[in-house]
Amino acid sequence: MVVVFAMVAALYLNVTSRTAIAGRDIQELTDAIASSQQVSSDLQTQLAGLTSAASMKDRARELGFRPMEPDEVEYLVVPGYVAPQPINLSSSALPQLSALTIPPEYNQSLLDWLDENFSSRGIQ
């Protein structure tokens, strides 16, 4: 009897310790995920600051760029290029909507159906 009790206790301790280890692993992975998300958010914030319009303008000026003057614009004619036409999502003629014909069986409510079936059987 003592041997059976010892085996059950050992099995219980084994399952309990594996469960505790798995729980600890889950906590560590959850902490790692939270940490990774924080680092990712920090990097996204840093990227947003570096690519903001004001920051890009300042860096362009540091590299020697300057705003373009209107008389400095030069357009190039490319032979064979066809400019894309805008998509017209509106329609000049509205489509005629036709009413759907639904069989009367599908227009009947449950109460109407019950009333019809009970009245045909003579049940009040």
What residue ranges do the domains of the chain occupy? Answer: 1-65
Please write the tens of the pLDDT for every residue from 70-109: 899 998 999 999 989 988 877 666 666 666 677 776 777 8
Q: Mean pLDDT, to the nearest integer, of 30-41?
A: 96
Q: Give buried/exposed letters for 54-74 (b at 16+ CB in 10 A, else e).
A: eeeeeeeeeeeeeeeeeeeee
Q: pLDDT: is 39 or 116 the higher one? A: 39
* Block residue for tokens 């947003």: 48
Tell me the pLDDT of the chain averaged across its residues: 87
Q: Report percent pLDDT > 90 for the chain.
A: 49
Q: pLDDT: is 2 or 102 the higher one? A: 2
| Nearest-angstrom CA–CA distance, 27 and 55 | 40
| Nearest-angstrom CA–CA distance, 56 and 62 | 10
| Nearest-angstrom CA–CA distance, 17 and 11 | 10
| Nearest-angstrom CA–CA distance, 39 and 35 | 6
Tokens of 15: 């399952």
pTM of the model: 0.45
* Block residue for tokens 């045909």: 120
